[in-house]
Structure 1
Amino acid sequence: MIITETERLILRTWTLEDVPYGVALWGNPEVIKHIGLATPMSREAVLESIKKGIDHQIKKGYQHWAVTLKSSGDIIGACGFNAFHQVREQESSIELVFHFLPDAWGNGYATEAAEACLNYAHEHIKIDRIIAGVEGGNIRSIKILDKLGFHYMGLIYFEDSKKFEPMYEFRLTPQRL
């Protein structure tokens, strides 16, 4: 299912047929070192992740969507949201994530896809706060978040990576669009 489109990209839900593309993405050591996973994901782990994402899309209305090039239909990455535990008691948050194949780096795709995700959140997800964690030293991701209007919050402990990572936040306001 197509979620949203940009000038060059289509963001859509993952399907079980996309597992090989997920393995190419999350099984790639260059990608993994920037997203906090200890080791590349196996085919079975990718399949399980895609299944959970499909379920999350049905239940919550979001997931980390497949990002495809309009020109070719090739999956070049993933961008979207993960549920995130409350950082402050009075607020719930979602986490913006973007993961792209190395061949797609440096073309503005992550910024374009992330902007589309923020617009989607503004229109469809009932939440006013989006956070984003950055694996230490990922200057490109920090620059993207800065362009999008995120602000540095400090270091937050991530249970999945078992370490503290820089955290950024973005507030959705009525003036967003």
Structure 2
Amino acid sequence: MTEIRTPRLVLRRWLEDDLAPLSEIHADPVVMRRIGDGRPRSTEQTAGDIEAWEEEWDDEGFGVFAVELLGSGELAGAVGLYVAGTPDEVAGQVAIGWRLGRVFWGQGYASEAAHAALEFALQDRGLDRVVAVLRTNDRASAAVADKLGMQAESIVRHPVHGHDLTMFGIDLTQYQEW
């Protein structure tokens, strides 16, 4: 089982007990406003997300981690890797993403977990490049991408939802130099 420990977090595969706390995070419209279509997700949709993330682990050898607070064992959210499907500019590339419950914002957890996931991608899994696809107006996520050493590369329009997305990227050489 893949597990990464940081000073304050455990990044691990998903457990059955994670569905309820992740469903609470996904039900928060403030958390979800810049993810996907911007709408909260039901428990059934959240279960489908976890199932898809676990399948990606099985198929690709990487995926989205459950992020747990080391001290309390509380589920803080989801951070990790996925193969991007859209937009066309990044389709097929490995992307990194993060979403944490609102009570965990502003404490550096997203940056800490995303850094661990990026290191996992580039060093442990031997990937040459990782991208991030973020809503252009999402300053908090852009700050996380910046802390990871990712560079904004382009702005494109989401092919289905119509909002602007900023494409960030980092390759192994940039990561090693950073």
* TM norm. shorter chain > 0.5: yes
8 Å contact kept, 2:27–2:40: yes
How much does 1:109 deviate?
A: 0.5
1:47 maps to which residue?
47
Q: Structure 1 residues 162 and 136, CA, compared in 2 at 3 Å: closer, same or farther?
A: same
How much does 1:36 deviate?
A: 3.2
How much does 1:174 deviate?
A: 8.7
2:89 maps to which residue?
87
| Identity value in percent | 27
8 Å contact kept, 1:77–1:100: yes
1:34 maps to which residue?
34
Q: Structure 1 residues 159 and 60, CA, compared in 2 at 3 Å: closer, same or farther?
A: farther
Which consecutive residues of structure 2, in runs of 5 or more, have no partner in the other structure?
A: none
Measure, in 2, the Cα distance between the counterparts of 1:140 and 1:174: 22
1:104 maps to which residue?
104
2:142 maps to which residue?
142
Measure, in 1, the Cα distance between the counterparts of 2:23 and 2:90: 35
Correspondence 1:126-141 to 2 at 5 A: 126-141=126-141
1:7-43 residue CA offsets vs partner (Å, 9 max, x unmatched): 0000011123311112112221111012233321111
Secondary structure at 2:118 match in 1? helix
How much does 1:175 deviate?
A: 6.6
1:42-67 residue CA offsets vs partner (Å, 9 max, x unmatched): 11111111111111111111111110
Secondary structure at 2:176 match in 1? coil
Q: Which moved more, 1:155-164 or 1:92-101?
A: 155-164
Secondary structure at 1:18 match in 2? helix
Q: Which moved more, 1:127-136 or 1:60-69?
A: 127-136
Secondary structure at 1:21 match in 2? helix
Say what the alpha-carbon RMSD is for the aligned residues: 2.2
Higher RCO, Cα 8 Å, sep 6+: 1
2:71 maps to which residue?
71
8 Å contact kept, 1:93–1:127: no
Normalising by structure 1, we get a TM-score of 0.88
Correspondence 1:114-125 to 2 at 5 A: 114-125=114-125
